[in-house]
Structure 1
């Protein structure tokens, strides 16, 4: 290997990735791949220091080549952290500061910010930038981090440092509502949000962030994090063993969190000791980051399919040799989009690292080119729709393929499946396999055709028994009272999420025909519905086949009017309970005590709203109750206790809902 050439290549690549992530908020590589490139560069430079180029990214804060907006010099440098991946490195760090007390906290995977207050009022917000100079983003933050306090009780100059993250739930909802411009992951979503030129539009599109604080100082002296902020979860430890226990405990909670963490930060607990430890050019000596390994295993990429989705997106899905990763056996993975396939150089026959984190669909994080034998095949995106044969459009930065033929059979089948799904008509007895078979036979073409199915028809199919046929027909019949909100979800309107359906009901729309008659101006006037979503809704209902389908559903007795449970709640008329008129935050996992079944957070939200409570996303001084289910992180309960907010368990919550007459 030509070492000098490799160092030059790695330097250029790391700098390019820094510019992409810290400059434009996008990165084609997972963290593990980026770290591997930088580690390789560091190892080569350590062996050949004379070959390190002048523009080397080593020993410097990760940052873009230049800051494009207005800037401010940090009162204290905002540095990167040294990295540890094993217990030995943590033990060495703790031994270096023998006798000191340590603090272990979650290492959030987002964007570092400095938030400065003067006289209790928000002065400015800045990114880490180069470490010494940050880019001012105060105006943007006011739109996209709605929970950031505009004022605090503490006087003087107070600087709060922390991490802005995009919640996993926000990321998933945004991608569902914007399938033509999906965000690769929450981390890049957070970084990208603060480089957008129109933060107001980002807020309307619900591309929102949350800020977690991990430290504060007043006029240069360390102080507790102000009560108005949500702190990261932390542990105070006296020994290296306790530090490792805390690291493992944080790691065990990782998948249950609504935000990404990629490690744990270990630092000297006492501010004076931390300051006395000093720092080098890019890292404080009194802190180190323990990086959790991604849940990944190696396997073989066998084939790639390009299924057509319900609104025409044609994403790459790969078959891999079965591999046990993240607690399950994985055989199907996502490759995200054609751009990532090219940039990760993925090929059929490659050995790939399959990554699985929590509930996120498993994906190919990287390939291992060194294991190739020459038989591998390039993955070429289709030019034509695999279902209808029409030419595909290329859209977005991910170079995604889209079928724009509204009569495409695959799209029609996916739309039928979506209509029958739990969040829409909730046809429990109707499976995707049967929908696909009935669609292939021409029995199902439109959603309304589902309501014409008879048990006699179904009994003509092999493996369909009388009980199954009766269950399917009964399930379809019982779904007719779905109401406006579920119908809007089931129609799979591009750029209209489940939240959009809920807001249309709360805005006073009574019938689906009323929504169909609305103008873009009418819709934009509704909170959190942006111009693009409004235009998409108007264009959808302007199609003749959509209006015909609505009429056909009406003819078959399907209820497309707003249900009482989805109307705005009349607080005065709501049953008396401790929830009435209060502001609450809902967190954790919930179980219906009547059936023992899991109940989604949106369903819990609807129940508490029917009890005349207002649900918000983050705990603040104005919150009355934190309604906590199972697996709740210490950060949220800790902030609630600090602000004097009552934490209510789910057993008590269900009693209150019963008092209100909701359940």
Structure 2
């Protein structure tokens, strides 16, 4: 049949042109010619819908909107990375490797820009994209297959495959110009602009309607696979080349380095060109290049031993410390928070920063009214570095923690062996609220629809006061709340119902007991088995 033959020709031709454009950066045809071929294929598939292939380029324009994202388990964990903030941290990393191996690492390292985007996993079976998901907590992510399929840099089918199953890991990101254009569009529509390219990329992928994702200028770089044994590669450098050969774009600034000297030199190069790149990077990932050594080194609880993320020096700026707010956390810790004249740090507006504790305030000699140097440590967490003493005019005032809890007026205590001042009242409303927020958050049971703002609203309305209250909330009361409705109430109650029988370790960690984190909770579950 002529239509079937032409559809097959166009599908293969357009996929080949997409590969040359996104991976090889060597297009053979103009954008206009590509669009003409695309429209021809689209019309043929509309006339003969039964002939459209699963990997057709037309499948990228988006599909049916979802009610919610489904969860998907990673077959192999997507681990975090250990961070380093200095050249010495890199040297120490290599020394740890050599102590563990009891021999030098002589086969080199792969040094790769750390993209400031969203980590995802793409699962291919028999060479076709089956599932795409977010990293999530490393074990379980969200199924965003429909959204990822709209990104033209992600192949729907591989050019070739050596394995029935291939799990590709990479980063979805947005280039600076695409981000600027998107924000111009947002403002023109009277919508809130995004804070930075990473937030824009993450927000675009988490659109329940994939047709919205399809309109966003998202890009993708592959950086690894879940199981290297599913490839014919013996090193990370070979693996990156292999990924390009089968259809994936990889970062052109990846570099093989034979030793620590070359690793540091490449980091210095990336630092010097960082702001000239078309996309944001927030550091450089260093990996042992030999895959066999990676396997010998193994992993720690949350990160591989064979890799480290060398972060860029924190971005700094000068502003004014206008006041201090004292926050009570879920364990009763009273944390002073600096209120700052808003200042832009590398694309993000910062107006608040932690002051940690009274000892830190005294050590830095910080005062209200000071001109201060602030930075985003690791380009993420704002902190006050120091006051600029030369700018003082005598009107600055010392900062002292209160003697009574700002939330419940109980006497505060400071144990001699701790730097933190605490409220000892277990019924302190601030502690109860923070505990509820933690219980519902991603660090707790991840109850969909109960983010910080909604938990605060339920607490203020006296609907919840403790964890047990979450499981007895009334639908009629919820749907009558400001900003809620029948659908919101039903969705939240359904999410709570799913959280009634969590794994024991998750439940223990969600309770937010002091000194009991995820690892301790898992040990308790292993030992006791159940609450009975």
Which category of TM-score, normalised to the shorter sequence, fits these structures?
0.3 to 0.5
Task: Point out which structure has higher relative CO (alpha carbons under 8 A, 6+ apart).
Answer: 2
TM-score (norm 2): 0.46
